[in-house]
Structure 1
Amino acid sequence: MTDDLRDTLDRVGDRFNLGEYEIDAYLAVLEHGELTASDIADRTDIPQPRVYDTVRSLSDRGLVELRESRPMKIVAVDPDDAFGDLRSSFAEMVDELEARYTAPTRETEAVSLVKSRSTILRYLEEVIENAEYELAVSLTPGLLRRFRDELAAKVAAGVSVELLVTPASNAPDPAEFDYLEVATIARARRGITTPVLAVGDGEYSVYATQDALRDDRERYGVIFNRSALGFLVSGFFGTVLWTTAETLAADGEERPFPRRYASIRRAVKDVREFDGEEFYASVEGRDIETGEEVTVRGKVVDVAFVDTEEVASLVVETETGRVEIGGRVAALEDVEGQEIVIGRGEPPAL
Structure 2
Amino acid sequence: MNVSELEATLETAGFSPYQASAYVALLELGAATVPEIAEKSGVPDSRLYDVLRTLESEGYVEVYEQESLRARIHDHEKLQARLRERAGRFSDARKEIERRWEEPPVEETVVNAVTRFETVLESAADAIEASDTQVELAVSPEQYRTLRPALQTASENGTSIYLAISTPDGEALPDPESVAAVCTEARHRELPSPFVAIVDRSKVYFAPHTGSANEYGLIVDDRTHAYVFHWFFLTSQWAVWEPIGAGERASTDYLDIRYLVRDLVPLLEDGKTVRVHVDGADTESGQQRTVEGIVRNVVHSGAGGTGSGSAARNGRVTLELETNSGTVEVGGWGALVEDVEAHRLRVESVT
Aligned length: 224
Mapping for residues 22-171 of structure 1, pairs under 5 Å: 109-167=109-167, 169-170=169-170
Residue number in structure 2 paired with 1:199: 198
Equivalent of 1:335, from 330, 335, 338? 338
Q: Deviations over 1:248-267 (max 9, x none)?
A: 112354799xx9x9843577
SS of the equivalent of 2:239 reads helix
Equivalent of 1:278, from 253, 275, 284? 275
Aligned equivalents of 1:177, 1:324: Cα separation in 2: 37
Aligned equivalents of 1:200, 1:326: Cα separation in 2: 19
TM-score (norm 1): 0.50
* 2:136–2:199 Cα contact (<8 Å) kept: yes
* 1:243–1:309 Cα contact (<8 Å) kept: no
Going from structure 1 to structure 2, the CA distance change for 1:270 and 1:318 (only over 3 Å counts) comes to: same
* 1:239–1:308 Cα contact (<8 Å) kept: no
Gaps of 5+ in 2: 1-107, 299-305
Kindly indicate whether residue 257 of structure 2 is the aligned counterpart of residue 264 of structure 1: yes
* 1:139–1:164 Cα contact (<8 Å) kept: yes
Q: Deviations over 1:37-80 (max 9, x none)?
A: xxxxxxxxxxxxxxxxxxxxxxxxxxxxxxxxxxxxxxxxxxxx
Aligned equivalents of 2:250, 2:238: Cα separation in 1: 21
Residue number in structure 1 paired with 2:237: 241
Aligned equivalents of 1:267, 1:228: Cα separation in 2: 22
1:221 is displaced (CA, Å) by 1.6
2:257 is matched by which residue type in structure 1?
Answer: I
2:319 is matched by which residue type in structure 1?
Answer: L
Residue number in structure 2 paired with 1:326: 331
CA RMSD of aligned residues (A): 4.4
Aligned equivalents of 2:334, 2:199: Cα separation in 1: 18
1:109 is displaced (CA, Å) by 4.7
Kindly indicate whether residue 184 of structure 2 is the aligned counterpart of residue 187 of structure 1: no
Aligned equivalents of 2:228, 2:205: Cα separation in 1: 11
SS of the equivalent of 1:234 reads helix
Aligned equivalents of 2:183, 2:290: Cα separation in 1: 30
Residue number in structure 2 paired with 1:219: 215
Going from structure 1 to structure 2, the CA distance change for 1:307 and 1:131 (only over 3 Å counts) comes to: farther
1:209 is displaced (CA, Å) by 0.8
Going from structure 1 to structure 2, the CA distance change for 1:334 and 1:316 (only over 3 Å counts) comes to: farther
1:120 is displaced (CA, Å) by 1.3
Going from structure 1 to structure 2, the CA distance change for 1:115 and 1:282 (only over 3 Å counts) comes to: closer
Aligned equivalents of 1:299, 1:152: Cα separation in 2: 31
1:242 is displaced (CA, Å) by 0.7
Going from structure 1 to structure 2, the CA distance change for 1:344 and 1:197 (only over 3 Å counts) comes to: closer
Equivalent of 2:227, from 224, 228, 231? 231
Q: Deviations over 1:182-217 (max 9, x none)?
A: 22211111222x211111121112121124xx7x78
Residue number in structure 1 paired with 2:293: 299
Going from structure 1 to structure 2, the CA distance change for 1:327 and 1:277 (only over 3 Å counts) comes to: closer
2:190 is matched by which residue type in structure 1?
Answer: R
Residue number in structure 1 paired with 2:320: 315
SS of the equivalent of 1:147 reads helix
TM-score (norm 2): 0.50
Q: Deviations over 1:242-298 (max 9, x none)?
A: 112221112354799xx9x9843577699999x8563454754559xxxx9898967
* 2:134–2:343 Cα contact (<8 Å) kept: no
Going from structure 1 to structure 2, the CA distance change for 1:267 and 1:187 (only over 3 Å counts) comes to: same
Aligned equivalents of 1:126, 1:195: Cα separation in 2: 19
1:166 is displaced (CA, Å) by 0.9
Aligned equivalents of 1:296, 1:145: Cα separation in 2: 32
* 1:124–1:197 Cα contact (<8 Å) kept: no
Residue number in structure 2 paired with 1:78: none
Gaps of 5+ in 1: 1-107, 346-350
Going from structure 1 to structure 2, the CA distance change for 1:255 and 1:336 (only over 3 Å counts) comes to: same
1:161 is displaced (CA, Å) by 1.0
1:314 is matched by which residue type in structure 2?
Answer: L
* 2:132–2:159 Cα contact (<8 Å) kept: yes
Percent identity between the two aligned chains:
21
